[in-house]
Amino acid sequence: MPIIDAVKVDRVSYDYGQGKILDDISFSVEEGDLLGMIGPNGAGKTTLFNCMLGLIEDYDGRIEIFGEDIRKSRKVLQQIGYVPQKKSIEQGFPATVEDIVSLGATRKPSKGNISQAIETVGLLDFKDRRIGELSGGQQQRVFIAKALVNEPRLMILDEPATGIDQETQNKFYSLVKKLNKENHITIIWSSHDLEAINSIANKVACINRSMFFHGKSHEFFDNPELLRKYSESSMQAHMHDHYHHHH
């Protein structure tokens, strides 16, 4: 089977008006890849995702999804399932799991698809429960199910840095791996958990406004020099943010 690019980001730059947030970013994701996107806070990961999702259009450069320039063919964006960084949900929020998952359907919602998506994330027993009654980890899986309803070929998961307990985290990681291996979904997954990326991603893209490393996961994690440089530049980014927030 020929390998096609699920994503091709070609020389993309962007700024919100105060200097470059994305600086000449190029990389590609092959169909079937599970790519871990890493970078310190403020590195521009969410901004890059917003470009890839067609939410930001005035970037320099070019983005192709499954071979289509997304500015020319917005239809291809329907092939992407997006799971944003988790928002907190009020306890009393009236919608059920099934209601939330149905909201993901852009075409006519089919009952079958909705149940299938809920089953894939292992929440069938909870489908009539109010989402506010679920744990943080379960809510996270509801949002994955919501993104699965349209049967995406590509998923973008923007993982929150903040603490969910380790066991919940591990369940989430096995779900990500299952979606990639069994459901054959190409995945781009932003995470701060380097160990998890090392264990399940086959590719890594590491950005800090510009591209710092892009390649096979083991080439990054087996290279102590690269890891050292990465943690140094991450530290500098934090110091930079710190300086701007507090002075």
Binding of ligand ATP by 16 (CB under 6 A)? yes
Binding of ligand ATP by 45 (CB under 6 A)? yes
Helices (H), the chain: 45-52, 97-102, 111-120, 136-148, 166-181, 194-200, 217-221, 224-246
Min separation Cβ 14 and ligand ATP, Å: 9
**Which one, 41 or 73, has the nearer CB to ligand ATP?**
41
**Which one, 124 or 161, has the nearer CB to ligand ATP?**
161
Options 4, 41, 199, 219; binder of ligand ATP; rule CB under 6 A: 41
Rounded CA-CA distance 114/102 in Å is: 6
The span of 25-33, 34-42, 104-112, 143-151 binding ligand ATP (CB under 6 A) equals: 34-42
Q: Which residues are registered as beta bridge partners of 12?
A: 25
- Of residues 144 through 203, those in contact with ligand ATP by CB under 6 A are none
Q: What is the dihedral of CA 123, 126, 132, 134, to 10 degrees?
A: -60
Rounded CA-CA distance 134/129 in Å is: 8
- Of residues 46 through 105, those in contact with ligand ATP by CB under 6 A are 46-47
**Binding-site size, ligand ATP (CB under 6 A):** 10
The span of 41-49, 128-136, 144-152, 181-189 binding ligand ATP (CB under 6 A) equals: 41-49
27, with CB counted inside 10 A (0-12, 13-18, 19+), is buried
∠ Cα 169 91 88 (to 5°)? 50
Options 6, 9, 12, 21; binder of ligand ATP; rule CB under 6 A: 21
Residues that bind ligand ATP (CB under 6 A): 16, 21, 39, 41-47
